[in-house]
Structure 1
Amino acid sequence: MKFVSGSILSVSLLAGFLAAAHARAEDAPTAPAPPPACEVPDYFLSGDTPLPKVAEAIKAGGPLNIMVVGSRSSMIGANPSASETAAYPGQMLAALKAKLPVIQVNLSVEIQAKKTAEEVAPGLSKLVEGKKPTLVIWQTGTVDAMRSVDPDDFRAAIDQGVVALRDAGADAILVNPQYSPRTESMISASAYLDNMRVVAQEHEVPLFDRFALMQKWSEAGEFDLFTTVHSAELAKQVHSCLGRALSEFIMAAAHPKPAQEN
């Protein structure tokens, strides 16, 4: 693997600004702000790439077992259990349970803190073997962008991981890095976004474009991601929006019959 050294501290906001916000939650109580609309355009939910295993599980009446493999940006705060319901995986789970009230939907979250895609990919088969998920949601690219990992190495690792998940019998969704307008001048995520898109197309794996969705919400004024102080409430709102959007993305890709939805 080829690295270009850089200051992790100077760009850690990309992966940690939402996670660190939870630590400020106990400073002083504030009145809750109205929830953002965080609308998701239809083209984000096209469902052109199917999730056959998920569709089969829904048709059979469950269970639907989902495993999220991600970095610290999959959490709110440093403690995974403390953010279990508020972070986007938990919000996704709640939304799916509401959409599929007669189906058992289970969630496990595997945090791979500070690991690149190349470091995570070899262990995906073992994770699937142990958890036996119907669907694996692999959120990656943030650490690689922060460390300026060679894009070709990154692409090869994503390819290896997707093949491993498919060979292990699970559906897969790729989730790209989160968007932060304050770090755009410090790091470039475009090569990693492009490579994830290419691998997703080559293997016909759905790509949840978290980066573009957060960028849209930021530019529409849904969230102030430019501020240097990110509150716990902002973190919860962003994660809530991402979780609900991801649940819609999964349902669109699974193409469940209307009678199966709530």
Structure 2
Amino acid sequence: MRLFVSLPVWGRAGISCLMCVAMDLGWKLAHGVLRVIMHAVVPLVCVLTALAVPPAWAEAVCPISARPQPVPKLEAARKALAEGRRVTILAIGSSSTAGVGASRQGSFPAQLAMHLSQALGPQAVTVMNAGVSGERGPATLRRLEAFLSQPHKPDLLIWQVGTNDYVFGGRADRLSDIVMAGLKIADAAGVPVILMNQQYYPLILNVPRYETFVAAVNDAAQMQGVSLLPRYSMMKAWSRRDPTGFGQLLSWDRFHMNEAGYACLAQLLSATILEALQGSGTSKKPAGLAIKPSVSRDSSSAYHGLY
């Protein structure tokens, strides 16, 4: 591990490229090996790299047009704020939620907690991080159902889903069924949802197939009328418009985001959530948000990691 961290950037990038290619080609032949890599090796190396090599933050603007739409109805959360009670947000998903590629406090749930605490007060909102690296849709669905069966339910669910279902050789129609089932469970529990689709990464070998998985998530959101953060289309357009700036939003493996990339997600989410809570009009929103990672070592009052 020390040898890997000591490698130059091009060396780490070369190794990461081979890992991404293996993930895309080895669906069935190397399924067990890939599960070990995704659950253990990749998260560990990403964390060590994030700590050892300070990232170069992109001087770019996060497109506010990509924020989640439609704006969710957060009646329970607004009532809680009015009564002086804490609002609870549950973020569930895989490595993009857990924060692989960044420090623990650099994950998007942690940075979202910082944004909301700054806007609403340090005791107003708790963001719970239930991300599990390498997890696929069926496992997340089981955890989601367990969380929402508890007496005390979150006021908002942020569900990031779909990438690993493609990487590990799943089927788009099966992913569609899983997402639809989860959204129906949330609806029955009275919990509003912001759905986040897959990331775009430069080494997708079969883009048409990958995009059928993206469409499965998008279509489920539209059919159920829930808010969607269109991460894939935002990242893909960004990579074509500004390849250099886009590259600075990715971790060493060119697959996961880094703290700057997660900062963009946190800013987009906070813009929509604050509009839902405060009822601010969209006409006053800026065209973009400057990316400034909000990383604090003292955010325990607003952020809880469950992984």
TM range (shorter): 0.7 to 0.9
Shift of 1:41: 3.9
Q: 1:250 to 1:216 in 2, by over 3 A?
A: farther
TM-score scaled by length of structure 1: 0.77
Decide which structure has the larger Cα Rg and report it: 2
Tell me, which stretches of 5 or more residues in structure 2 are unaligned?
1-26, 282-307
Inter-partner Cα distance in structure 1 for 2:261 and 2:222: 27
Give unpaired runs (5+ residues) of structure 1: none
Structure 1 CA distance, aligned partners of 2:240 and 2:42? 18
CA distance in 2, matches of 1:227, 1:106: 27
Q: Percent identity?
A: 22
Alignment of 1:54-73 (within 5 A): 54-73=77-96
Query: Structure 1 residues 114-123 or 152-161, which shifts more?
Result: 114-123
Please give the alpha-carbon distance, in whole angstroms, between the structure 2 residues aligned to 1:45 and 1:157: 24
Taking the aligned partners of 2:123 and 2:231, their CA distance within structure 1 comes to 27
Alignment of 1:97-116 (within 5 A): 97-101=117-121, 104-116=124-136
Give, in whole Å, the separation in 2 of the partners of 1:198 and 1:59. 35
TM value normalised by structure 2: 0.67
Deviation at 1:62, TM superposition (A): 4.2
Aligned to 1:159: 180
Residue in 2 that maps onto 1:224: 247
Q: Kindly provide the CA deviation profile for residues 118-170 of structure 1, in whole angstroms up to 9, marking residues without a partner as x.
A: 23223323212346210111111011111231221111111111111121221
Aligned counterpart, 2:265: 242
Deviates most, 105-114 or 218-227: 218-227
* Structure 2 CA distance for partners of 1:91 and 1:6, relative to 1, 3 Å: farther
2:210 counterpart of 1:215: no
Match of 1:191 among 203, 212, 223: 212
Identify which range, 174-183 or 187-196, moves more after superposition.
Answer: 187-196
**Length, aligned pairs only:** 245
Which of these residues, 75, 84, 87, is aligned with residue 107 of structure 2? 87
1:113-124 paired onto structure 2 within 5 Å: 113-124=133-144
1:22 to 28, 38, 47: 47
AA partner of residue 94 (structure 2): S
More helix by share: 2
How far did 1:256 drift? Answer: 1.9
Aligned residue identity for 1:143: N
CA RMSD of aligned residues (A): 3.5
Aligned partners of 1:227, 1:49: CA distance in 2, in Å? Answer: 27
